[in-house]
Amino acid sequence: MIKFGTDGWRAIISDEFTFANVGKVARAIALYLINHKLNKKPLIIGYDPRFLADKFAEEVSKVMEDAGINVYLTERDTPTPVVAWEVKDKKAAGAVMLTASHNPAEYCGIKFIPDYAGPADESTTSEIQENSNKDLVLPMAAKKGKVERFEPRQRYMKYIESFVDTALIRKAKLKVAYDSMHGAGRGYLDKILQNFGCRVEAIHSQRDVLFGGKNAEPSDENLGELKTMVPELSADVGLANDGDADRFGVVDEKGVFMNANQILSLVFEYLVSEKKYTGSVVRSVATTHLIDRVAARHKIKVHETPVGFKHIAKIMMQEDVIIGGEESGGFSIKGHIPEKDGILADLLIVEMLAKRKMPLSEIWEELIKTTGEVYTKRINLKLEEKEKQEFMKRLRDETPQELAQAKVVKVNKMDGVKMILSDGSWVLARPSGTEPLVRIYAESDKEQKLAVILEAVQNLV
């Protein structure tokens, strides 16, 4: 059965992710466009560097062509945020992106991006999922659609300049190490930085369908080479993107990995303090409360959403939002599309360094001097499906009143079970929808306290 997750349908290539099944999903998307009277507008189709992703994209194009829908198909593997932006740029009906994002190389995926250029909501994905599992016969088109190849890079690169101070970056002449992780970001972020006068040293800049034998996820454990490279080159910063460049990774000048919670807080504070952005801020339930501390200092409203950028995007489309972010590396900004963009996140870090003329580690130290220290961690509890369900039910029905020798003062059951402790620490237990595990997120002002909280939650099992 084809089942969509939080960001499209993903499966193992040649197991479930076959040309036949991709055709089923493509026909379901075509029917969605026809039923919602969007089929007179063109559809954008893009893909990441995965094995056969380009061929799967061509298969989707053929289905759309037969359905009478015009298609713009990218010339090469392209970042998801660029494909999403092209929906707005070309006033398209939407986009289909062949990507499994940061999943292992044996996976591929397909996601539909509606005409607002953000993640599809649940009603849209439910409709497409339901029809993907039927033997659809599409209505006969009056005439075939046209498939046109195009290269969006130059237009996106010109557009993204409107969000950063290019003159400031050029003047700073920063040295940047970049790891595209063999992903779609290569030839995008590195080229943009070079255009802005940065000295760029890039690694893993060739397409590799196996992503060098690693998950194309810009995490601490996967960026060892970049962490070594930055201090060796005396670079100002190390930047990375995942396989489809919708997520970011950052390494400071000492070669220390900075997690997404830190980067989101830094960029948010920079946009408010230096660039005078106004509006609210949106974060997921699993994302750092350091954002809340920064917001409180500037009297900014905070929205908390379930995990998944589609929830963040919904609020970004409803009101004036400075940034939307999630701890897994999702980020977007006021005035941009309501979709994750790892390229823009990295560029704003470079601008911040140029503006503040300080090492990244010192900028971080300055922030926590004013907001207080914060430590965050995520662990996975491996539980069989029955154990997982029983654990979560017990946690929901019999939530502890005390944890790690601190009183539980608030319980949030928006997405999983989140317990706020009397000392400001918090912990969230959230079941995976696709794997036999429960993800545990925790935050505290002391590293030792964080370890005690995580151990206490594990003992609840």
Q: Map tokens 């220290």 to a residue.
A: 373
Q: How is the beta sheet containing 321-326 ordered, strand by strand?
A: 302-305, 280-284, 321-326, 330-333
- Using a 10 angstrom Cβ sphere, with 0-12 exposed, 13-18 middle and 19 or more buried, the burial of residue 398 is exposed
* Cβ 124 vs Cβ 32: under 8 Å: yes
Instruction: Please give the distance of CA 44 from its chain centroid, rounded to a whole number.
Output: 20
422 among known catalytic residues: no
Query: How far is Cα 404 from Cα 350, in angstroms, rounded to an integer?
Result: 39
Torsion of CA 382, 387, 390, 392, to 10 degrees: 10
Cross-strand bridge partners of residue 411 = 419
Torsion of CA 421, 426, 429, 435, to 10 degrees: -170
Q: How is the beta sheet containing 402-403 ordered, strand by strand?
A: 375-382, 437-444, 426-431, 417-421, 406-412, 402-403
Q: Are strands 71-74 and 321-326 parallel, antiparallel or unpaired?
A: unpaired
Alpha carbon distances (Å) from 364 to 140, 255, 293, 399: 59, 14, 14, 35
Query: How far is Cα 270 from Cα 164, in angstroms, rounded to an integer?
Result: 12
Biggest alpha carbon–alpha carbon distance for the chain: 70
Query: How far is Cα 309 from Cα 51, in angstroms, rounded to an integer?
Result: 26
Q: Map tokens 């940065």 to a residue.
A: 198
Q: Map tokens 């995942």 to a residue.
A: 242
* Cβ 207 vs Cβ 146: under 8 Å: no
Catalytic residue among 61, 101, 132, 265: 101
Query: How far is Cα 361 from Cα 344, in angstroms, rounded to an integer?
Result: 20
List phi, psi (to 5°) of 420. Answer: -95, 125
> Which residues carry out catalysis?
101
